[in-house]
Structure 1
Amino acid sequence: MIVHWHRKDLRVRDNRGLGRAAAMGNRDDEGEGTGEGESEGTGEDAHIVPLFVLDPTVLEHASPVRVSCLLEALGGLRDRYRELGSDLLVFRGEASEVVPRVAAEYDAEAVTWGEDYSGLAAERDRAVTAALEDDGVETETVYDSIIHEPGSITPNQGDHYSVFSYFWKKWRDREKPAPVEPPAADDLTDLHGDDGTDPLPSLANLGFDEPKASTRPVTQATARERVASFCAGPIYEYDDRRDYPAAGATSRLSVHYKWGTIGPRAVYAATERAMDRASSDDERDGVTAFRRQLAFREFYAHVLAFNPEIVSENFSDATGEIDWRNDPDEFAAWKAGKTGYPIVDAGMRQLREDGWVHNRVRMIVAAFLTKDLLVDWRKGYDWFRYNLADHDTANDVGGWQWAASTGMDAQPYFRVFNPTKQGQDYDPDAEYIREYVPELRDASADEIHDWGSLSDAERERIAPEYPAPIVDHGERRELAIETFERARD
């Protein structure tokens, strides 16, 4: 028997860990595998036992919106296994105790799983590996959530790139593996009626309140549908429209990447088909621009794998101790979406309402917090980590350190986003702003974008419930530059 321990790979298609489990179980008498991804069961020796562990140590770092998505994705995965004549074992407890216990119960010779590069996951995995080794159980881990393994794309000197453009050139030209075939039904152990497996708990059972955000469905089926619809049309305009939050031109795949309801090789394969269908250079540019974003996710994963400390420490050696202001009232206004800067407030309210924020707006709100308010990026990261359904440690730390000018290939500290100009440039008709800031729904686009320069009387007449700007951007820009220059000295 082979136990496959699901974590952030809640799917059966394009799952390298499952492919490895299928291949291991189908080895011939000399011990040679059939090849990764080849899962042609014999019907005589079903051997894969799918497992998921609700680990309280991991759940301590979770939030209602993420656990809600997790339970939905788990329910979809369990349904799929049952359709295939098997089931998904779900147990609550420390992974270092549960995984070896299940391996022993099914007399498993090995346990497979996909690597996770966060510090918490690495600590958990070391404990599980040690416990399994004590029991004489083999472990087989694979990199599954990204296409190219950390350490496989490197400069001539060093273990990883810290400048994205160099990483992108190699990532772009590197041959991409095909999606991994799902295991055959015959490979899956019939677990119907097995005693001891827990039913999926509710949020309340796990100690979480209902999330305030209303998220989109997170299942394998919805992920495949989203990829198909995006690659059928919007991907061709991605290069031109992705920065406009009202356009709805992004893939919205981040939450599926987070929970692994779609595999990265399957997504890339869909872009290859889209590229083949492209009828112009502009359409091909759209596909390439989207692939560049896929590479960005992997770039940050590679950096985190070699620098786990960047979750709490500045990546850049050029920046010393920054004299953050960390004003609690200004931080509270930012979290509540009441800064008086419409594009910033729209983004912060979208975060609470949707558990997701458009990428351009993520940059705007992060820049405003770290530069205009001079609040430590770690405080912003923690707030996003709690509220995002798609929170990914590597991607989010990379994005926050970019905005704060402390990270890898970061925004230069002297280039401070002007939130008013960002709103004018990327939401010119204020469609996005009005959707999330109802106090401004009767205001014109010009009034919204000129909000900071209006008189108190004009603001009172137009939208009496919406606040005036809490800071002057021009003044705070100069303060931010001075503060960062002192830190660099």
Structure 2
Amino acid sequence: MRVFWHRRDLRIADNRGLAAAAADDTVLPAFVVDDGVLEHAGATRVRFMLDALASLRATYRGLGSDLLVVRGDPTEELPRLASHHDADGVYWNEDYSGLARERDAAVRRSLEDDGLVARAFHDAVHHEPGTITTNEGEPYSVYSYFWKKWRDRSKADPYPAPGPESLVPADDLPADPLPDLDDLGFAEPDAVLQRVGTDAAHDRLDAFLDGPIYEYQEAREYPAREGTSRLSADLKWGTIGVREVSEAVEAAAADAPDDGAAESVEEFRSQLAWREFYAQVLWANPNVVSENVRTYERPIEWREDPEALRAWKVGETGFPIVDAGMRQLREEAYMHNRVRMIVASFLTKDLRVDWREGYAHFRELLVDHDAANDSCGWQWAASTGTDAQPYFRVFNPTTQGERYDPDAEYIREYVPAFEGIPAEEVHGWPDLTDEQRERTADHPHPIVDHAEAREAAIGMFERARGDDGSGG
């Protein structure tokens, strides 16, 4: 018998480690609620995790088995489970953060000390970190070069799901209830999450492939449109397999009705590659979650401004597209990717607040929080990361709103104070006089002057570079 340790792979189909365990022996599926992981979790992600576990357990029960869920330290719980059920070893799929790798190494030592087999597999990505490198064998720091190799490298087919004959019968397992949020020390989140589970993930994929993928290249930039796949949480938690997604995308490419549609499909493929690029950045540099990747001659003079940070978090900056995005985050535990870039630029450039403050807030609220994607995304916006935007590129939130939400539909959805107000007045809100704003809508006045903030941000980075003429 083999214990299969589920983590961020809450599905049975296209699960590489689970398929390997089923090929080797009968499988006991297990999940360990790890308090060490919960210390870094927010209520929305724990809610998603519990709902996904319920869905996964229902799948196993439909096959005559069950998902065994225990709480504790996996270095203790996994050897105990293996011993209690007379299993020969434990299989799992890899994760790439520094904390996950430390935990997995400790689990491996604990299992091997007990004479148990410990096997780990690369499942969350197509290509194992460290296998797509420069000609000198170094990890890529520029995405475009990584993408060229990634797209041309063959991809594995989806792995088969285990059948009932490969699973421990439910009669041999305790039918303990799943913990709830209160048991784990979390309050029910205010955000309303999208449907959770493998069926829901496949429904989202099918809906995306049924038209939107062929308009993705343009539509993905407009938050008021249903132009994205909304699969980010599913890929983060593994309620759908990356090979399943890629296989379906390849089929969509073959069916593309014209060159423009084919280019849109290719653009979506490139987003899957970005996910793996950032995974290999994290793998090569685990400190990317807390330390600047790009070095400057001097420390960056980030500002400490608790009131500005509070206004940003609650969507009261007085910049409509920024406030809409931050309110979407609170209401849905999700934010459109274009808007993520806008709000990140605003925090790090207009407010000159350390990107780590934004990363911590996203980690707390985003249901799709992924250490690699989020830390690298924040460092991209802050001009401190791998392949980041230049420090002198500062998004103008007004221009961004006009360009990507021209009719202010997205803004009005999340900032109802602007309901019924013409789009040009919504976008022009930061440029109105205080008297005009008082007459227009009940919404906060802008907390900074963007033009002045832009110059201040550029100056901050020039001083860090030693370009301010002071010698350094």
TM-score strictly above 0.5: yes
Query: Counterpart of 1:43?
Result: none
CA distance in 1, matches of 2:399, 2:195: 34
Q: Where do 1:465-480 residues align within 5 Å?
A: 465-480=442-457
What is aligned with 1:424?
402
1:183 deviates by 1.1
Aligned with 2:395: secondary structure? coil
Structure 1 position 467, deviation (Å): 1.1
Aligned 8 A contact 2:66 2:173 in 1: no
Q: Please, which moves more after superposition, 224-233 or 341-350?
A: 224-233
Is the contact between residue 237 and residue 249 of structure 1 (CA under 8 Å) also seen in structure 2? yes
Task: Measure the CA separation in 1 of the matches of 2:297 and 2:166.
Answer: 53
Q: Secondary structure at the match of 1:141?
A: strand
1:292 aligns with 2:244: no
**1:273-319 deviation line (CA, Å, top 9, x unaligned):** 10111110001011000001000000000010010011110011246
1:25-75 residue CA offsets vs partner (Å, 9 max, x unmatched): 2xxxxxxxxxxxxxxxxxxxxx10000000111111111111000000000
Query: Who is 2:436 aligned against?
Result: 458
Tell me the distance in 1 between the aligned counterparts of 2:369 and 2:89: 30
The question of 1:273 aligning with 2:247 is answered: no
1:353 equivalent to 2:331? Answer yes
Residue from 180, 193, 196 that aligns with 1:215: 193
Give yes or no for the alignment of 1:22 onto 2:1: no
2:469 corresponds to? none
User: 1: distance between equivalents of 2:298 and 2:328?
Assistant: 33
Q: Is 1:443 aligned to 2:418, yes or no? A: no
Question: Counterparts of 2:211 and 2:123 in 1: how far apart (Å)?
Answer: 27
What is the correspondence of 1:44-443 to structure 2 with a 5 Å cutoff? Answer: 47-192=26-171, 194-195=173-174, 198-318=176-296, 320-443=298-421
Aligned to 1:33: none
**Partner-residue secondary structure (3-state), 1:246:** coil
Contact 2:2–2:88 (8 Å) recurs in 1: yes
The alpha-carbon deviation at position 266 of structure 1 amounts to 0.4
Amino acid across the alignment from 1:482: G
Residue aligned with 1:326, SS: coil
Match of 1:9 in 2: 9
Deviation at 1:24, TM superposition (A): 1.8
Counterpart CA distance in 2 for 1:378 and 1:198 is: 39
* AA partner of residue 280 (structure 2): H
Number of equivalences: 466
Identity of aligned residues (%): 58
> What SS class does the counterpart of residue 199 from structure 1 fall into?
coil
What's 1:39 paired with? Answer: none
- Structure 2 SS opposite 1:192: helix
Distance 1:225 1:319, change over 3 A: farther
What amino acid is aligned across from residue 90 of structure 1 in structure 2? V
Q: 2:3 touches 2:30 (CA, 8 Å); kept in 1?
A: yes
* Cα distance, 1:369 vs structure 2: 0.1
SS in 2 for 1:245: coil
C-alpha distance in 1, partners of 2:208/2:431?
A: 40
Post-superposition shift, 1:191? 2.8
The answer (yes or no) to whether the contact 1:319–1:484 under 8 Å persists in 2 is no
* Aligned mates of 1:158, 1:333 — CA distance in 2: 45
> Do the aligned partners of 1:239 and 1:285 also contact (CA within 8 Å) in 2?
yes
**Alpha-carbon offset, residue 98 of structure 1:** 0.5
1:326 shift after superposition:
2.1
* Cα drift, residue 320 of structure 1: 4.1
The question of whether the paired residues in 2 share the 8 Å contact of 1:159 and 1:306 is answered with no
Deviates more, 1:7-16 or 1:435-444: 435-444
Q: Which runs of 5+ in 2 are unaligned?
A: 467-472
- Once the two structures are TM-superposed, the CA of residue 180 in structure 1 deviates from its matched residue by 0.5
The TM-score, its normalising length taken from structure 2, stands at 0.97
Listed one character per residue, the Cα deviations across residues 245-273 of structure 1 (whole Å, up to 9, x for unaligned) are: 00110000001011100000000001011
Q: 1:144 to 1:128 in 2, by over 3 A?
A: same
CA distance in 1, matches of 2:177, 2:107: 23
Structure 1: distance between partners of 2:257 and 2:430: 45
The structure 1 segments of at least 4 consecutive aligned residues displaced by more than 6 Å after TM superposition are: none
The answer to whether the 8 A contact 2:11-2:240 is kept is yes
Name the SS for the 1:483 alignment partner.
helix
- What code does the residue aligned with 2:188 have? E
TM-score by length of 1: 0.94
The Cα of 1:128 is off from its aligned counterpart by 0.9
Q: Is the 8 A contact 2:321 2:411 kept in 1?
A: yes
Q: State the distance in 2 between where 1:442 and 1:375 align.
A: 33
- Secondary structure at 2:261's aligned position in 1? helix
In the TM superposition, what whole-angstrom CA distance separates every residue of 1:370-428 from its partner, at most 9, and x where no partner exists?
A: 00000000000000000000000000001000000000000100011000000000000
Residues 207-240 of structure 1 deviation map (CA, whole Å, 9 limit, x = unaligned): 1001011010110000111111111210000001
Q: Give me the whole-angstrom Cα distance separating, in 2, the residues matched to 1:475 and 1:400.
A: 22
Paired residues of 1:245 and 1:427 also in contact (CA < 8 A): yes
Q: After TM superposition, give the deviation of residue 158 of structure 1 in Å.
A: 4.0
What is the distance in 2 between the residues matched to 1:428 and 1:409?
29
In structure 2, C-alpha distance between the alignment counterparts of 1:184 and 1:216, rounded to whole Å: 29
- State the Cα distance separating 1:441 from its structure 2 match: 1.0
Instruction: Tell me the amino acid that sits aligned with residue 252 of structure 1.
Output: R
Per-residue deviation, 1:199: 1.4
Contact 2:2–2:21 under 8 Å retained in 1: yes
How far apart, CA to CA, are the structure 1 residues paired with 2:92 and 2:206?
Answer: 27
Counterpart AA for 1:23:
A
How far the C-alpha of 1:198 sits from its partner, in A, is 3.4
Q: Check the 8 A contact 1:7/1:52 in 2, yes or no.
A: yes
Alpha carbons of structure 1 residues 319 and 250: separation in structure 2 relative to 1, 3 Å = farther
Give the Cα separation in 2 of the matches to 1:326 and 1:383: 15
Secondary structure, aligned partner of 2:362? helix
